Amino acid sequence: MKKKSQKIVLPLLLFGLVIGGWELYVRAFDISLYILPAPSKIIAAVVDNVNILMRHSLVTLEEALIGLGISAVFAILISIGMDLSKTFRSSLYPYLIVTQTVPVMVLGPLFSIWFGFDLLPKILIVVFMCFFPIAVSLTDALQKVDPKQIDLVKSLGANVFQVYTLVKIPAGATGLFSGLKVAATYCVGGAIVGEWLSSSAGLGYYMLRVKNGYMLDKVFACVLMVVFWSVLLNLGVSMLEKLCFPYLRKGARK
């Protein structure tokens, strides 16, 4: 019980010290708002602009969730394909690694030129950022499934589809949701990057607008909203994992 309380109390204590030190530093040295706003000013900016922040958040969340959903579907299909065929895996896997070496800021302008300035370029950036962690985590999990379990269901007459639905997918669910949790924290950031490059709404657009006006308290308010939605999506994936595969949680406790 003591260790559990330490895991909660110590991070909160550190957070309080950092925020308190930040507030004291800004007040003591009279730092200008356009250089570094105090935490109290940032909270006030969130409260005063909550309606605007929520309106832009809905745009960003739409881009993030659509991109995350597309990433998950393609990652699952391609992971199963790589698990089924070693040739397919050997051919494709190196390119998955290469995609992660390409800066997203380079792809953004290209997507805008090719696909316009609407929703699609932002979704593609989210897909580009979220696909890799899901695909790699699930592929590795599928490769580590106990061969004896597979042989057992095959001996009972199971076909390939049944092998995956009865054994491989349930066994690989841990890897799938590990990748989804990472992707859930990336997707909002990916949408923000897309909005920086071309948009007329969204948290990224609003962040640029207030930054150009040197309203750094509102910039930090946008950052808080990004953190809030990223954490919330991560928790949402964790809840989905518990609902779909409750046995994973029980197994972890044991």
Q: Assess contact for 222 and 153: CB atoms under 8 A.
A: no
pLDDT at position 3 is 67
User: What percentage of the chain reaches a pLDDT higher than 90?
Assistant: 29
Helices 169-197 and 203-212, axial angle in degrees (round to 10): 30
Domain ranges for the chain, please list them. Answer: 1-30, 33-253
DSSP one-letter code for 95 = H
Listed residue (69, 48, 29) closest to 221, CA to CA = 48
- At residue 203, does pLDDT exceed 60? yes
CATH code of the domain made up of 33-253: 1.10.3720.10
Compute how many other C-beta atoms are within 10 angstroms of the C-beta atom of residue 10: 10
**pLDDT, average across residues 202-210:** 90
End-to-end CA distance of the chain: 17
pLDDT by residue (tens digit) across 71-113? 999 999 999 998 888 888 888 888 888 877 777 777 777 887 8
- At residue 226, does pLDDT exceed 90? yes
Q: Residue 102: left if φ>0, alpha if ψ -120 to 50, beta else—which one? A: beta
Distance CA 199, CA 201 (A): 6
**What's the gap between Cα 219 and its chain centre?**
21
pLDDT by residue (tens digit) across 143-188? 888 888 887 888 877 788 888 888 888 888 888 899 999 999 889 9
**Of the candidate ranges 178-192, 202-216, 234-248, the one whose mean pLDDT is the lowest:** 234-248
